[in-house]
């Protein structure tokens, strides 16, 4: 793949097509939800993403799927597929629909933020390929139209397949400028760290655009004992356990990447979600692409809570601080059994209850007493803000 710091527009790494099935698979997303306490968080703080909307830059969406009924705010096609019709973002690949379902499916499957609206922006073709020219055009569209459609966050589950440790080489990229401008307005871009840790010889780094300091960059962990797994890149886990970093997931510790480091990890292998075979179809896939929408959904919950309590969106800095404050520490090399080398460093994994708890305490003015204010009092504050 052409790296984005060498040629513009650059080729986006083709995404792996999800396995599609007419009937749902085993509930892996539910298992992932238990690890990071998503259902408990939604119930405690009475949030489902209502009042938010996310733009998903991907292969498009099966917008007629029952999981998204009544919640597709708009759609746009930036590829030559679907007859080049700019109004037709139909997904004939499956990756985008899988991603969208993890974020906000609300019927057959249970997404993280089922009350949120979705804006599918088709930047990847039906064969999974794409270019950063299309990505830049889609980001410009969001810059111009986020107010009209209430877009509060973006999900970008792709990379340039590179392994970067700084965002300085990307300062002149159009996509970088758009992401920075949106971040300044409180519209956060959740971006996959990349699936090429094995490919790059276990060297720390992330793909573009995850390397940008203005993004929330997201790596993948396993959520439980799933046996042995071999991934398309050649990365292989001989055994799996909850909170083990997947051998494919790129990672960049702050000791190396400083402000460009990987922000957070989330479950991403495997993830069951909405599919494209029919309006009730299911699909399953592994990747930082699947971890990214888990975090994006949690971001929507945080935005929903903050807007309900204060009437405003939180800043990207707020979101990052809450995610980190509520996170669980995971070790890269404590017990992994796979075919990659490990950094021996600590990273962070999301915990939805702790993150929403910290957010609510801060919004209630109790952040200085975070250790003494009972959770019941925080929940009461949230209830009174409804």
Q: What are the structural domains of the chain?
A: 11-384 (3.40.50.200)
DSSP 352-363: HHHHHHHHHHHH
Phi, psi of 331 (to 5 degrees): -105, 135
- According to the model, what pLDDT value does residue 247 have? 97
Q: Who's near 274: CB < 8 A, 6+ residues apart?
A: 62, 65, 67, 68, 97, 98, 100, 101, 105, 108, 109, 281, 282, 283
**What is the helix (H) or strand (E) element at residue 288, kind and residue range?**
helix 288-310
Rounded CA-CA distance 85/171 in Å is 32
Rounded CA-CA distance 379/360 in Å is 8
Beta carbons of 24 and 275 less than 8 angstroms apart: no
Low-confidence ranges of the chain (pLDDT < 70): 1-10, 23-30, 366-386
DSSP 194-259: -S-TTTTTT---B-TTTTSTTSEEEEEEE-S----EE-TTS-EESS--TTPBPTT-----HHHHGG
Nearest-5° angle of CA 231, CA 29, CA 340? 25
Q: Who's near 235: CB < 8 A, 6+ residues apart?
A: 195, 197, 198, 246, 247, 248, 338, 339, 340
Rounded CA-CA distance 175/139 in Å is 7
Beta carbons of 232 and 183 less than 8 angstroms apart: no
- According to the model, what pLDDT value does residue 2 have? 27
- According to the model, what pLDDT value does residue 27 have? 57
Closest by Cα among 194, 268, 302 to 31: 268
Beta carbons of 62 and 97 less than 8 angstroms apart: yes
Burial class of 221 by CB neighbour count within 10 A (0 to 12, 13 to 18, 19+): buried
Angle between helix 288-310 and 316-325 (nearest 10): 110
- According to the model, what pLDDT value does residue 289 have? 96
Rounded CA-CA distance 57/121 in Å is 5
Angle between helix 352-363 and 38-45 (nearest 10): 30
| Bridge pairing between strands 130-131 and 11-12 | antiparallel
Beta carbons of 160 and 13 less than 8 angstroms apart: yes
């Amino acid at each position: 793949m052409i790296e984005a710091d060498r040629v513009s527009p650059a080729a986006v790494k083709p995404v792996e097509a999800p396995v599609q099935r007419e009937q749902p698979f085993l509930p892996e997303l539910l298992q992932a939800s238990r690890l990071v306490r998503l259902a408990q968080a939604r119930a405690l703080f009475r949030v489902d993403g209502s009042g938010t909307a996310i733009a998903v830059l991907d292969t498009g969406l099966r917008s007629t799927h029952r999981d998204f009924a009544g919640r597709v705010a708009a759609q746009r096609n930036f590829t030559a597929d679907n007859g080049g019709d700019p109004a037709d973002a139909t997904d004939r690949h499956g990756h985008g629909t899988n991603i969208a379902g993890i974020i906000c499916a609300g019927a057959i499957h249970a997404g993280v933020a089922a009350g949120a609206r979705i804006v599918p922006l088709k930047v990847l073709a039906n064969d999974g390929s794409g270019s950063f020219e299309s990505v830049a055009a889609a980001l410009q569209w969001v810059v111009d139209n986020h107010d009209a459609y209430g877009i509060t966050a973006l999900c970008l589950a792709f990379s340039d397949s590179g392994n970067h440790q700084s965002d300085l080489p990307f300062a002149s990229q159009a996509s970088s400028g758009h992401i920075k401008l949106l971040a300044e307005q409180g519209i956060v871009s959740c971006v996959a760290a990349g699936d090429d840790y094995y490919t790059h010889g276990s060297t720390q780094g992330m793909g573009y655009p995850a390397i940008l300091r203005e993004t929330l960059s997201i790596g993948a962990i396993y959520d439980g004992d799933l046996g042995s797994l071999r991934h398309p890149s050649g990365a292989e886990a001989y055994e799996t356990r909850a909170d083990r970093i997947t051998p494919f997931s790129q990672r960049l510790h702050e000791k190396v990447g400083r402000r460009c480091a990987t922000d957070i990890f989330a479950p991403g292998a495997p993830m069951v979600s909405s599919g494209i075979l029919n309006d009730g179809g299911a699909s399953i896939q592994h990747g930082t692409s699947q971890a990214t929408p888990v975090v994006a959904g949690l971001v929507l919950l945080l935005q929903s809570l903050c807007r309900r309590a204060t009437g405003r969106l939180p800043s990207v800095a707020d979101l990052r601080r809450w995610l980190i404050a509520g996170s669980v520490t995971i070790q890269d090399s404590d017990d992994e059994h796979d075919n990659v080398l490990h950094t021996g460093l600590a990273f962070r994994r999301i915990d939805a209850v702790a993150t929403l708890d910290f957010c609510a305490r801060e919004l209630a003015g109790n952040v200085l007493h975070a250790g003494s204010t009972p959770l019941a009092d925080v929940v009461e504050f949230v209830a009174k803000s409804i």
